[in-house]
Structure 1
Amino acid sequence: MVRRMNTTFSRMRIRRRLVQVILGLTMLCCLNMGTIGLHVGAGSAHALSPLAGKVVVLDPGHGGPDGGAVSPSGLVEKAVALQVAQYLRDYLQQAGALVRMTRETDTDLAKAKTRGYSRRKTEDLMKRARIVNESQADILISIHLNSFPNPRYSGAQTFYCSKLEESRKLASSVQQELIAGLANTKRMAKQFDDIFLLNQSRIPAVLVEIGFLSHAKEAQLLAEPEYQKKVAASIYRGILRYYTAPPD
């Protein structure tokens, strides 16, 4: 009897996993065809979604007095990172995920009384790490924009810390979808162990540099809401891929 029950439960788990994979692939196809509305809506659909109940921390980089990188035309990293994170939040929530944002407005996370850029930056990063590790989340996605003195460099790239193998898998999944969705980069996911937030995270975590503000044409794209949605959709597809693709 115990063997029969174990066999039955095993089959049920396999069937449920297959349904989740099929639904995940269906959602990927919907995004690829441009149906970004993703009104998953019904509770039953949420229950079957590969992202149902998953807790995702989204971390839009910088904020407040820390603007981050700035394009030659004046586009500021903190604003674009927040907008893309908000689009990504919407896609994730519509798929049944629970989303925690480290910031939702143009603020940093340091205390108001803290003075000095370096002190505020340190306090801000420590608060972000605390949010990540106290949120009981499944994954962390930190969103930033790149910049380099040589303006010829462009393209999105995903970074991860070697501390957790799952971070590498998440980074690879996200980068594959950025390559497919944006069609303007051949960059691969890259290990980088000196990023404070990734190093402090106790859950799978990646930092996505969604493009170069120092590249004139890419900066123009990054200022456009439709392109921002395209970036967010690519990251979303990467998260879906992480949860539905067979282990590598």
Structure 2
Amino acid sequence: MRQKIELMITVLLLAGLIFASRKVSRYAASDNVKDVAGNKVVVDAGHGGSDPGKIGINGLEEKEVNLAIAQYVEELLEKEKIEVVMTREKDEMLSEDSGEKTKIGDMKMRVEQINKEKPLLTVSIHQNSYPQEEIKGAQVFYYTHSGEGKKAAEIMQESLLVLDDTNHRKAKANDTYYLLKRTESPTIIVECGFLTNAEEAGLLKQEEYQKKVAEAIVAGIKAYMEK
């Protein structure tokens, strides 16, 4: 009798462990992509309005480059029949018309919009800077604890090689960027180039190069969606 009871307890414990492991597995697999909306992509042009972002070695303002590339991305995605939501479509800080006219207010509004849309992926477009002028190369950032974010960032980093096949930068994890931490669906930040590098700043000022960057970003988005 005692052996039967012990056997039943063992079976119940094993069943519990299997159930728990399956639950954890489902959670880990879904990561932060649960309840996303179809093939919707949010394109976030960083900075805007009274927040110019980084100022290039040639006087180029980051906010202008970000918006130009974002608009080309939007156009290309729409041609691919992919639903696009833009966080901004003009030179504005999102919080300028609200009671909280601050950078953090702007970031909060971006996060709120992204979480409301529940996209398959959010791509935030930015430009980089560094004290040493020779530093260059596009790089993609993702939230440290997002498996889907990591996957999207690595695919995007590879797609950006078309801009410079000598770029050895890797997709990089980050657990401090507000946008990455607060968005509930996979989000990546694409730093398209360094405005403090004369070569890249010169390229990023050109419309044709901005379109080339947009094409690379769209290729990365499509590749992620197909995985």
* Length-normalised TM-score, structure 2: 0.80
Which is higher, the Rg of structure 1 or of structure 2? 2
Q: 1 CA distance for matches of 2:72 and 2:137?
A: 20
CA positional deviation for 1:136? 2.4
- Identify the residue that residue 213 of structure 2 maps to in structure 1: 231
Deviation at 1:114, TM superposition (A): 4.5
Tell me the distance in 2 between the aligned counterparts of 1:74 and 1:190: 28
Please give the residue correspondences for 1:8-19 in structure 2 after superposition, counting only pairs within 5 Å. Answer: none
Q: Which residue of structure 1 aligns with residue 89 of structure 2?
A: 104
- Structure-to-structure mapping, 1:33-182, within 5 angstroms: 54-112=39-97, 114=99, 120-182=102-164
Please state how far the C-alpha of 1:111 moved relative to its aligned partner: 3.6
Q: Does 1:183 align with 2:136?
A: no
Letter in 1 for 2:120: D
Aligned partner letter, 1:107: E
Q: Report the residue type matching 2:78 in the other structure.
A: Q
Contact 1:182 1:231 in 2 (8 A): no
Alignment coverage as a number of residue pairs? 191
> Structure 1 unaligned runs (5+)?
1-52
Equivalent residues of 2:127, 2:191 under 8 A apart: yes
Separation of aligned partners in 2, 1:181 and 1:80: 16
Offset at 1:182? 3.5
Change (3 A) 1:100 1:180: same
Q: CA deviation at 1:186?
A: 1.5
Q: Deviations over 1:135-163 (max 9, x none)?
A: 12111000000011111100100000022
Distance 2:78 2:62 in 1: 24
Cα displacement string for residues 181-237 of structure 1 (whole angstroms, at most 9, x for unaligned residues): 443522110001111001111111100000000001110000001110111111111
- Separation of aligned partners in 2, 1:175 and 1:154: 14
User: What letter is aligned with 2:42?
Assistant: V
Distance 1:186 1:220 in 2: 21
**Secondary structure in 2 matching 1:143:** strand
Q: Which residue does the alignment assign to 1:194?
A: 176
- The aligned amino acid for 1:83 is A
Structure 2: 5+ residue stretches without partners:
1-37
Check the 8 A contact 1:59/1:143 in 2, yes or no: yes
Partners of 2:208 and 2:174 lie apart in 1 by: 30
Task: Tell whether 2:202 aligns with 1:217.
Answer: no
- The separation in 2 between residues aligned to 1:229 and 1:61, in whole angstroms, is 17
Counting aligned pairs with the same residue, the percent is: 39
SS in 1 for 2:140: strand
- Given that 1:182 and 1:234 are in contact with CA atoms closer than 8 Å, whether structure 2 keeps it comes out as no
SS at match of 1:91: helix
